[in-house]
């Protein structure tokens, strides 16, 4: 049983986190710009004059994102969990039910 506190969110982007970024840092070695694929974990700057980034996972093709954001990794396991979170979302970015993520951990590769 995990002692971690659940993460609660009111948007379908439950797997995204806001984190502080290093301004004007070069792209990490081995990273690439957004490819024309789904399941990529990507990063976008929140806006001009900010030091915040948003991490997101696209579950379908988003043509307007191609070549605009850094891709770090790709979802390789538990894709069904990501799809379950997506299924309670809507076009208004509000979820039909509360999404709670518990017992999350890093995959050792």
Q: Residue 109: inside a domain, yes or no? A: no
Q: What tens digit of pLDDT does each residue of 48-92 get?
A: 787 787 878 877 777 777 777 777 777 877 788 888 888 888 777
Q: Residue 37: inside a domain, yes or no? A: yes
Indicate the pTM of the whole model.
0.49
Cα separation, 62 vs 36, in Å, equals: 8
What domain count does the chain have?
A: 1
Q: Residue 97: inside a domain, yes or no? A: no
Q: Residue 83: inside a domain, yes or no? A: yes
* pLDDT value, residue 65: 75
* Boundaries of domain holding 63: 7-92
Q: Residue 98: inside a domain, yes or no? A: no
Q: Residue 26: inside a domain, yes or no? A: yes
pLDDT (average), residues 84-101: 81
Cα separation, 21 vs 23, in Å, equals: 6
């Amino acid at each position: 049983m995990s002692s971690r506190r659940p993460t609660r969110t009111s948007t379908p982007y439950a797997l995204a986190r806001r984190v502080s970024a290093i301004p004007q840092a070069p792209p990490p070695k081995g990273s690439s710009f957004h490819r024309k694929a789904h399941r990529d974990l990507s990063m976008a700057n929140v806006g001009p004059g900010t030091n915040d980034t948003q991490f997101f996972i696209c579950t379908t093709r988003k043509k307007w994102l191609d070549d605009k954001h850094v891709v770090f990794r790709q979802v390789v396991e538990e894709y069904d969990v990501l799809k379950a979170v997506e299924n309670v979302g809507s076009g208004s970015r509000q979820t039909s039910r509360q999404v709670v993520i518990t017992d999350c951990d890093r995959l050792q590769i």
